Structure 1
Amino acid sequence: MNARPASSQIVQPARRIALEVITAVREDDAYANLLLPTKIARARLQTNDAALATELTYGTLRMRGYYDRVISLAAARPVEKIDPVVLDVLELAAHQLLGMRVATHAAVNESVELARLVSSRSATGFVNGVLRTITRSEPDEWRDRVIAEAKDADSRLAAEYSHPTWIIRAFRRSLAAAGVSPDALDDELRDLLEADNVPPRLGLVALPGLADRSQLTIAGRPTRRSPVGFSATGGDPSDIDEVKAGTVRVQDEGSQIAALALSRAATIAPGEKWLDLCAGPGGKSALLAAEARLGGAVLTANEPVPARAQLVRNALEAVPDPPEVWQLDGTTIGDAQPGSFDRILVDAPCTGLGALRRRPEARWRKSPRDVADLVQLQERLIDSAIEALRPGGILAYVTCSPHVAETRGQVAGALSRWGDRISALDTRSVVERISSDEGDEHDEQGQHHAIEPSQVQLWPHIDATDAMFIALFRKADEHR
């Protein structure tokens, strides 16, 4: 009689790798976007299997809040009472059954084998039973049952769109503060949450003066608003010579607009000194460095965390005479170098709520308690940057978050603390001028829910970018 093959031989490599990454995210706080490519490369997965592993991993992490509710109903027990590694298997299977067009027998059978591989024999029966229960109802029926369990409107949205309830409420406040009318707010919020659950297109930036996006040997579509960006529509970007050389970089269009808002807020005078105060991992620094080089300005990048500082150096290698990289506490630079810089970017540490579509596990890692500490740090960085600005200098405050406390609140706070020593610039006009390079016709939605002219909030569901917030300030002239 032939011996039964080992579970590791029965399970498709893409599923095994996806489970390994999902478990590492839960147990070790690993970053899926860093770990998954490494595992795919080591396993030498072919294109189709690599794509499957990617969808299994990101899709499961993104929708695990919803899947946990389904699993709890199917298992008739809270997910907190399920062995965590078994729950990982169930979540992975739920994504295949409810979120993908995977054959039922393949999803169930391979998930049972995964359970055999990572847990006890008894777990296989439990996994099989739960998954068979899930298959007895259509996805829409499970959706209705999950929503019916919720107690209020925001809890229903949290369940349906797989976001923590506190993030739903933060987004609701952000949209309302951005001028969305009460009648339109629920529909707008649904559009935002839906966009958060759609993987973004790969955005690329051609560094000005170093690469020309019209000459690249890859299928791509020019971005709507950034004059130096494009979305890859075919091929592997890592095969592009310019990507290998570092003159073309992976970067979301929203991040490009944020950097260009500073570099193109005013005509560059040769000899200007620029500072990227919170530079890691270096994407905006590279774009600013290229812009500075064309205008005769000099950029300095600062990143206090050594590993991230090295990433900044790597990002800047493609720029001739790469900018200097400091490793200083950004909150102290204002005291150490007062009145030293003509332009400063404060791309402040934030909750990252604006990038949930590209970092699917991030929504489960943040909590409301994080906001207060981050807001304090943001205030200190803004104040340090204003101290470091020369009279007449320009500050760009940027966050990858639409949270009111990190955006409108910080603008109001800075203007209150500094009084007539700073003024808010017309950020909206700057962004529209950048976008007009593309001949972009701005409709009502294209105004980015601009709030006041001094602030621009980009949105995934409107602009197809991360939810970047941008506000420009000018420091008063000493002789005013």
Structure 2
Amino acid sequence: MSQARRVAFDTLRAVHESDAYANLLLPKAIERAGLSTADAGLATELTYGTLRRQGTYDAIIGIAAERSVLEIDPEVLDALRLGVHQLLATRVASHAAVNESVELARTVLGRGPAGFANAVLRRIARDTPGEWMTRVAETARSDDERLGLVYSHPVWVVRAFRRALAAEGRADELEALLSADNISPRVTMAALPGLAEVPADVRRTAYSPLGFRLGGGDPEATVTASEGRVRVQDEGSQLAALALTRFAPVRSGERWLDLCAGPGGKTAVLAAEALAHGARLEANEISPARAGLVRRAVAGIPSDIPVSEQDGRVRAEAAPGTYDRILVDAPCTGLGALRRRPEARWRKSPADVPELSSLQTGLLSAALGALAPGGVVAYVTCSPHLAETAAVVAEVRREWGAAATELSARDAVATASVGELDLPAQKDGSGRAQLWPHRHGTDAMSISLLQRV
């Protein structure tokens, strides 16, 4: 059994047993195991690929084993999932995929489970991926369930995505979106404006003026060498921050607030923009651990950026009429980042949405109260769910009435962009901008701008 497979298996067990986050745990596990570059790549592909396609693989395992996956021991099930991913979605030879997975089961769990894993995987290896997809689709009781099984998304997420796409007249893009969620995203870098230059020999990203992609090598080495002035950051995240800083010229002396700042990527962009234009930035993050990440994110920026640790609603309500620009990057379901946080699709449920939307509404309303007259708040979520985006903005606008007006976030994002973005108008008439993995190659960021009148 290879070390790469053992690292992947242990990470899957931690994700499923202890609610660990693969993006935090896996790099440490790879370092502890001393994996080579090739083996680290294999461990990463096995871990993330298995988590992304878990719903599909469970359906296949259930058919092949002739029993519900709920009846299979969790450790055995994770070994089977790893084996199925190698059989159906990688170039690993079938015999190697079966033998390595069986050996993993034998080493970790014993002979009995290994025999069961052997029988199930050999049954799966007899048919092609296309044949298994057809078989899985035939078990569905509705079209939504078929899409959920084939593209490995919970049905409630499929429906939420369809509604969000339909809100801009693009419901026919649903399968493209679901498919994009199962593709590993490329690492995107950001050069903080005024503090770092985009290297001349790299490929620029399509939209963000800060973004580029490295040709290879360890991105963390680049981040460290630049003292954090070059950083890993999704292009959608870059554009969300720039929409707030570039929708209109900055007046010297403006006061800005990043209300929900952790882990600090957008804070760093705001800090660099504030420094370049003579504005003053403050940050707030309720979680002490994430507040520490914010301080690290802005450590390489030569300006004093205080970071408070309060509930964002309390922080904003304590400073009425104070700020010219506020970013509310609100806590959300994270459904827009399923490419990079694949376990989120299996952890979240529809029951999470009402509590989050209530929190989001409170944060946005409090932020409006903290604005000086004419000030603007950018409300951002890494989720396209309409209850976390359009509904929140509509509720706050009802609450504030004529005291708040909506600006066009689509125009603001287009102004910040160096490329032409396909951002269709929302059917509700709002100015909301929605980015998408399948259309823009970014996380599914929702961006709205509200101005205090």
State TM-score, norm by structure 2: 0.98
Note if 1:468 corresponds to 2:449.
no
Match of 1:71 in 2: 61
Match of 2:148 in 1: 158
Note if 1:459 corresponds to 2:449.
no
Once the two structures are superposed, the pairs formed by residues 299-318 of structure 1 within 5 Å of their partners are: 299-318=281-300
Displacement, 1:241? 6.2
**Which residue among 421, 424, 429 is the counterpart of 2:403?**
421
Match of 2:120 in 1: 130
Match of 1:8 in 2: none
Match of 1:43 in 2: 33
- Are the equivalent residues in 1 in contact too, given 2:105–2:113 (CA < 8 A)? yes
Displacement, 1:199? 0.7
Matched residue type, 1:359: R
Displacement, 1:432? 1.1
- Are the equivalent residues in 1 in contact too, given 2:188–2:213 (CA < 8 A)? yes
Displacement, 1:232? 2.5
Structure 2: tracts of 5 or more residues without a match: none
Instruction: For 1:385 and 1:271, locate their aligned partners in 2 and report how far apart those are by CA, in whole Å.
Output: 19
Instruction: For 1:96 and 1:74, locate their aligned partners in 2 and report how far apart those are by CA, in whole Å.
Output: 16
Deviations 1:88-141 (A, max 9, x none): 000000000011111111111111111112213211110100011001111111
SS of the aligned residue for 1:344 comes to: strand
Identical aligned pairs, as a percentage? 56
Match of 1:4 in 2: none
Displacement, 1:222? 1.0
Once the two structures are superposed, the pairs formed by residues 323-472 of structure 1 within 5 Å of their partners are: 323-435=305-417, 438=418, 440-442=419-421, 446-448=422-424, 450-451=426-427, 452=429, 454-472=431-449
Deviations 1:252-292 (A, max 9, x none): 00000000011112111111110000000000000000000
Instruction: For 1:425 and 1:354, locate their aligned partners in 2 and report how far apart those are by CA, in whole Å.
Output: 23
Note if 1:144 corresponds to 2:144.
no
Deviations 1:331-351 (A, max 9, x none): 112321111111100000001
Deviations 1:301-331 (A, max 9, x none): 0001100000000001011023000001111
Match of 1:5 in 2: none
Match of 1:191 in 2: 176
Matched residue type, 1:239: A
Deviations 1:181-203 (A, max 9, x none): xxxx3x41000001111111101
Change (3 A) 1:288 1:370: same
Instruction: For 2:254 and 2:174, locate their aligned partners in 1 and report how far apart those are by CA, in whole Å.
Output: 42
Instruction: For 2:440 and 2:425, locate their aligned partners in 1 and report how far apart those are by CA, in whole Å.
Output: 11
Q: Choose 239-248 or 405-414, whichever is displaced more.
A: 239-248
Instruction: For 1:393 and 1:80, locate their aligned partners in 2 and report how far apart those are by CA, in whole Å.
Output: 53
SS of the aligned residue for 2:186 comes to: coil
Match of 1:235 in 2: 217
Instruction: For 1:424 and 1:53, locate their aligned partners in 2 and report how far apart those are by CA, in whole Å.
Output: 46
Instruction: For 1:243 and 1:262, locate their aligned partners in 2 and report how far apart those are by CA, in whole Å.
Output: 28
Change (3 A) 1:458 1:320: same
**Which residue among 104, 115, 121 is the counterpart of 2:105?**
115
SS of the aligned residue for 1:116 comes to: helix
- Are the equivalent residues in 1 in contact too, given 2:261–2:294 (CA < 8 A)? yes
Once the two structures are superposed, the pairs formed by residues 292-303 of structure 1 within 5 Å of their partners are: 292-303=274-285
- Are the equivalent residues in 1 in contact too, given 2:337–2:444 (CA < 8 A)? yes
Moved over 6 A (4+): none
Matched residue type, 1:198: I
Once the two structures are superposed, the pairs formed by residues 248-287 of structure 1 within 5 Å of their partners are: 248-287=230-269
- Are the equivalent residues in 1 in contact too, given 2:161–2:174 (CA < 8 A)? yes
Match of 2:194 in 1: 209
- Are the equivalent residues in 1 in contact too, given 2:247–2:416 (CA < 8 A)? no
**Which residue among 200, 204, 208 is the counterpart of 1:222?**
204
**Which residue among 2, 7, 29 is the counterpart of 1:17?**
7
Deviations 1:222-272 (A, max 9, x none): 111111111223222223266551000110000000000111121111111
SS of the aligned residue for 1:447 comes to: coil
Instruction: For 1:72 and 1:120, locate their aligned partners in 2 and report how far apart those are by CA, in whole Å.
Output: 21
Displacement, 1:360? 1.1
- Are the equivalent residues in 2 in contact too, given 1:220–1:234 (CA < 8 A)? no
SS of the aligned residue for 1:213 comes to: coil
- Are the equivalent residues in 2 in contact too, given 1:275–1:300 (CA < 8 A)? yes
Matched residue type, 1:474: Q
- Are the equivalent residues in 1 in contact too, given 2:425–2:431 (CA < 8 A)? no
SS of the aligned residue for 1:395 comes to: strand
Note if 1:172 corresponds to 2:162.
yes
SS of the aligned residue for 1:19 comes to: helix
Note if 1:86 corresponds to 2:76.
yes
Displacement, 1:55? 0.3
Deviations 1:440-469 (A, max 9, x none): 245xxx125555461100011111100000
Instruction: For 2:424 and 2:92, locate their aligned partners in 1 and report how far apart those are by CA, in whole Å.
Output: 38
- Are the equivalent residues in 2 in contact too, given 1:379–1:410 (CA < 8 A)? yes
